[in-house]
Each structure stands twice: as C-alpha cells, then as structure tokens.
C-alpha cells in the first residue's frame, strides 16, 4: 500500500470558509440540541464524536484548574473551537493569554490557535490522529500542544513530533494529573 499525502490549504486561506460554516452550524437548532462534540473538516462537513466520558471531563477540569494556577495573564477554557487548515477543530482544553482572549471575543471561533492546546486522549484516539491534530494546531499558531494520556500522564510538544520533558510556558506544571 502506498502513502497518501493530502495538500491542505494555507491556514489563512481556510479561515473565512471556516467562519462561514461555523456560523451556520451555531445558528442551526438541530446541532444546538446534540450532546456530541462537533468539528468540521476543510470541506465544511461535520465530524461528530460521542459524548465525553466522566473520566475525560474530570481530566479536562483538572487541567483547567492547574493551568489557571500555574499561568498568569491568561485563562484556561474547555472545548475551544479553532480555525485550522483542515476545518474547525476543538481543543479539549486551551490556555489563552488575555491579549488573545480579547481578540477571540470578536468571533465564534479562534482564528489562531491558543498558546497551549491540550487533547485528553480517549481509548478510541489513535496516535496518528493526535499527531495530525497537533500539527493542525501548530500550523494555526499554537506554541505548545499537550497530550493527556488515559492514565493522566502528560506529553508536551513544542512543534510537530518534538516532545520536551517540561512545558516551556508552564515549567512547573506537573507531568501527571
């Protein structure tokens, strides 16, 4: 079997399309009643994932608490929609500086990725899927991407495939929650 490479549009070229699609989704009462998390791909097609488990929610809440404790001049949030070159993706947890938070209030999605994007892995997530999502966040401007494994251990990345022992933005953050 041969490898297939997909050429994605530039992040800035995809943004206006993502804004339009996301506004339509938010205005649709059908999607408002769903419990599933909704994301889109670069074509505007909806991607839905099952509702979150209690364990997933618990880890996300703890990450938000610890981010707000360890970092000043910003805020941690959950389920943050981000415009990427492959549609709108939602980081499980994100930390935004106050400057980026102010800019983000103008739109229904973040036009650039937050400084820190965190994905809490579920058993159904593959390593390849997480690498792809991390690459999309970095392409959209993230400074760091963190992966929280099922056992609560954290992996910190400063570029696609570049794992570091500690977060440069939050060096005192624990390696496990």
Q: How far apart are CA 8 and CA 138, in angstroms?
A: 14
Q: Which residue has the higher pLDDT, 161 or 1?
A: 161
* Confidence at residue 83, expressed as pLDDT on a 0 to 100 scale: 96
Contact 160, 134 (CB under 8 A): yes
- CB contact at 8 A, 114 and 83: no
Q: How far apart are CA 140 and CA 112, in angstroms?
A: 5
When pLDDT is averaged across residues 15-20 and rounded to a whole number, the result is: 90
In the chain, what are the domains? 11-164 (3.90.1570.10)
Tell me, what's the pLDDT at 98?
94
Mean pLDDT of all residues in the chain?
A: 90
pLDDT over 80 (residue 50): no
Which pLDDT belongs to residue 36?
75
95: Cα within 13 Å, side-chain hemisphere: 24
Cα 37 from Cα 101, distance rounded (Å)? 22
Across 46-67, average pLDDT: 87
Higher per-residue pLDDT: 146 or 55: 146
Report field, pTM of the whole predicted structure over 0.85: yes
Percent of the chain with pLDDT over 90: 58
Q: How far is residue 44 from each of residues 38, 138, 154, 168, measured CA to CA in Å?
A: 11, 21, 31, 34
Taking a C-beta distance cutoff of 8 angstroms, is the pair 31, 25 a contact?
yes
Query: pLDDT by residue (tens digit) across 85-101?
Result: 999 999 999 999 999 88
**What's residue 95's pLDDT?**
97
Query: What's the rounded Cα separation, in Å, for the pair 39 and 5?
Result: 22
| pLDDT-derived band at 122, boundaries 50, 70, 90 | confident
Model pLDDT, residue 55 = 87
pLDDT given at position 134 = 96
> At residue 51, does pLDDT exceed 60?
yes
């Amino acid at each position: 079997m041969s490898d297939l490479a997909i050429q994605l549009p530039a992040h800035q070229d995809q943004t206006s399309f993502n804004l339009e699609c996301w506004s339509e989704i938010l205005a649709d009462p059908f999607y408002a009643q769903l419990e599933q998390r909704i994301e889109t791909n670069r074509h505007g097609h909806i991607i839905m994932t099952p509702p979150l488990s209690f364990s997933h929610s618990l880890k996300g809440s703890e990450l938000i608490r610890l981010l707000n404790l360890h970092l000043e001049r910003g805020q941690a949030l959950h389920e943050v929609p981000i415009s990427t070159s492959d549609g709108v993706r939602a980081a499980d947890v994100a930390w935004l500086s106050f400057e980026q938070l102010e800019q983000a209030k103008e739109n229904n999605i973040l036009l650039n990725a937050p400084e820190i994007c965190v994905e809490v892995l579920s058993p159904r997530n593959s390593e390849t899927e997480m690498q792809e999502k991390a690459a999309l966040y970095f392409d959209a401007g993230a400074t760091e991407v963190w992966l929280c494994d099922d056992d609560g251990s954290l992996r910190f990345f400063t570029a696609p495939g570049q794992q570091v022992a500690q977060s440069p933005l939050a060096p005192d953050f624990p390696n496990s929650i």
